[in-house]
Amino acid sequence: MAAGFKKELTSGDPLFEPLLKNRRIALVFFENSTRTRFSFEIAARHLGAGTLNFSASSSSVSKGETLSDTIRNLEAMQVDGFVLRHPSSGAADLITTITTKPVINAGDGSHEHPTQALLDMFTLREHFGTLKGLKVIIIGDVLHSRVARSNIYGLQAAGAEVGLCSPVTLLPFDPSRLGVTLFTDLDCAIAWADSAIVLRLQLERATGGYLPSLEEYSFHYGLTDDRLERIQKHLLVLHPGPINREIEISNHVADRIQPPGYSKSMLLEQVTNGVAIRMAVLNTLLGGISPA
């Protein structure tokens, strides 16, 4: 379904059936977002749905209203579905016990970000044709990353092999239970992989004693042209965004979408694919009819 939506989206003059006409979708974001929030909004509008934008700072949450009461009140206004981003792991799961309406997790704490993983997998499948047997290395701050967790589960379910490359302080507890290949040396990880998902170093948490310094992190775990050239490895590069330029990824690697070079950046392609994936998710969950 997402492939059909993408074809129309990138046609230059997209025109969609209003499959979600008269539906009202609440975009409930308790955390900042650029890509996820706007792509859900664009996706909903393409399908003819109305969107209600909620931001915690301008709502009654600032007066102490709970998440559960917020959802109950929105539901009482006859909202048809919720897209929730929340800093607490498990928040989306919690509100499925409050409402009977579809709830889409747009990122909960350091737990999961399912639609990001779907768009990453879609991007990889578009490029490689299949995910079966594909080797994907996830580089960086796995400990705090909801994107990493959703990608590990999704990619493995689709038959890909997943590797993690991270300082040990930024790995989750007992990573062996995840069924992944572990690397601490980035050169070895790159030599192993077909593609890399580079994670944002969560600078807001990096002060917690996880790293000696940003310079040292960048030296050992930053994806740069020099490193790729030294290993002579061509790599398809994904990053969920937002990026810390010249920390986890160099400008050249982040911005190179054409040869020559040892990498191809999919960062903006991922963003386009995010709209198509979120259209497919909304259409599936809110009762639309599948397009041809």
Binding site for ligand CP (CB under 6 A): 33-37, 107, 113, 116, 240-242
Instruction: Indicate which residue of 6, 85, 111, 239 is catalytic.
Output: 85
Least distance from C-beta 265 to ligand CP, angstroms?
Answer: 15
CB closer to ligand CP out of 19 and 119? 119
DSSP state of 249: B
HSE-CB at 42 with a 13 A cutoff on CA atoms is: 19
- Check: CB of residue 117 under 8 Å from CB of residue 175: no
85 belongs to the catalytic site: yes
Least distance from C-beta 145 to ligand CP, angstroms?
Answer: 10
HSE-CB at 2 with a 13 A cutoff on CA atoms is: 20
CB closer to ligand CP out of 228 and 275? 275
CA 165 remoteness from chain centre = 18
CB closer to ligand CP out of 212 and 242? 242
111 belongs to the catalytic site: no
d(CA 154, CA 171): 19
177 belongs to the catalytic site: no
Angle at 97 between CA 95 and CA 102, to 5 degrees: 65
Least distance from C-beta 147 to ligand CP, angstroms?
Answer: 7
CB closer to ligand CP out of 159 and 242? 242
- How big is the chain, counted in residues? 292
Instruction: Indicate which residue of 6, 23, 36, 51 is catalytic.
Output: 36
d(CA 244, CA 251): 9
- 3-class secondary structure, 78: coil
6 belongs to the catalytic site: no
Instruction: Indicate which residue of 35, 72, 233, 252 is catalytic.
Output: 35
**Using CA of residue 282, residue 284, residue 286, residue 288, what is the dihedral sign?**
positive
36 belongs to the catalytic site: yes
Least distance from C-beta 32 to ligand CP, angstroms?
Answer: 7
Q: Which residues are catalytic?
A: 35-36, 63, 85, 113
